Chains A and B, each alone.
Chain A
Amino acid sequence: GAGVSQSPSNKVTEKGKDVELRCDPISGHTALYWYRQSLGQGLEFLIYFQGNSAPDKSGLPSDRFSAERTGGSVSTLTIQRTQQEDSAVYLCASTRNRYTGELFFGEGSRLTVL
């Protein structure tokens, strides 16, 4: 497709389980971001990938969170041993080359931890 694709769109899990969220960026975009949006809150930066450089992980809230980007394209955000406070919408965005202008966001993955 032409836009950023995220899956699943909705995920309900039990506390303590691991979850994986997937992001497929726009073809040709080398920069990829993950943000978290909690209810009524702004967009919290999690992690940033740029080409083959080491990712900027400075926004990850704990060591239960990790992300990888294989082949410079698809990215997976993994949350281990989920907690109720992890419930949020996880948004992925991509841009052509570093931050040169517009970020293109996916529709997000809504995670609910029971």
Chain B
Amino acid sequence: GENVEQHPSTLSVQEGDSAVIKCTYSDSASNYFPWYKQELGKGPQLIIDIRSNVGEKKDQRIAVTLNKTAKHFSLHITETQPEDSAVYFCAVVPGGADGLTFGKGTHLIIQP
């Protein structure tokens, strides 16, 4: 089955700095790569996604990059703010599958 590795497990950055979270996957047929944000006591919520036919996608302070050859993708958050503090999960839809395989999550802490 698909194997998704996510790093780091915890990331602490100063407010205003950038944060980068990375994921690797194993199934080369995977074709959809979303990122979810989970705030304390809530369910995860989609924040950005990318499909296999593009290499980068940006939405305001958030961007995702995809390298299909190397089978890795990354989440970039610029100008971090206190409300960015949360757990972030990458996910992959393996080729032919109907569901997501999630990484283990990154706890992002924004230091004031």
Contacts and interface: CB of A to CB of B under 8 A. Distances in A.
A102 B42 CA distance: 16
Given A42-B102, A56-B98, A56-B99, A99 B45 contact: no
Given A42-B89, A99-B93, A105 B99 contact: no
Contacts of A33: 99
Interface stretch (A43-51, A65-73, A80-88): A43-51
A31 B100 CA distance: 13
Contacts of B100: 43, 45, 99, 103
A48 B98 contact: yes
Contacts of A43: 44, 89, 100, 102
Interface hub of B36, B42, B43, B89 (most chain A Cβ within 10 A):
B43
Task: Report, as a range, how many residues of chain B touch the other chain.
Answer: 20 to 34
B43 A106 contact: yes
A105 B98 contact: no
A41 interface: yes
Nearest to B43: A105
Interface in B51-106: 89, 93, 97-105
B46 interface: yes
Contacts of A113: none
B112 interface: no
Given A103-B46, A108-B43, A42 B99 contact: no
B89 to A, nearest CB: 6
A60 interface: no
Interface hub of A31, A42, A105 (most chain B Cβ within 10 A):
A42
Contacts of B99: 33, 45, 48, 56, 99
A-B pairs with lowest CB-CB distance, top 9:
A105-B43, A42-B104, A43-B102, A102-B46, A42-B102, A107-B43, A105-B44, A99-B98, A42-B105
Interface of B: 6, 32, 34, 36, 41-46, 49, 89, 93, 97-105
Interface of A: 4, 31, 33, 35, 41-43, 45, 48, 50, 56, 91, 93, 98-99, 101-103, 105-108
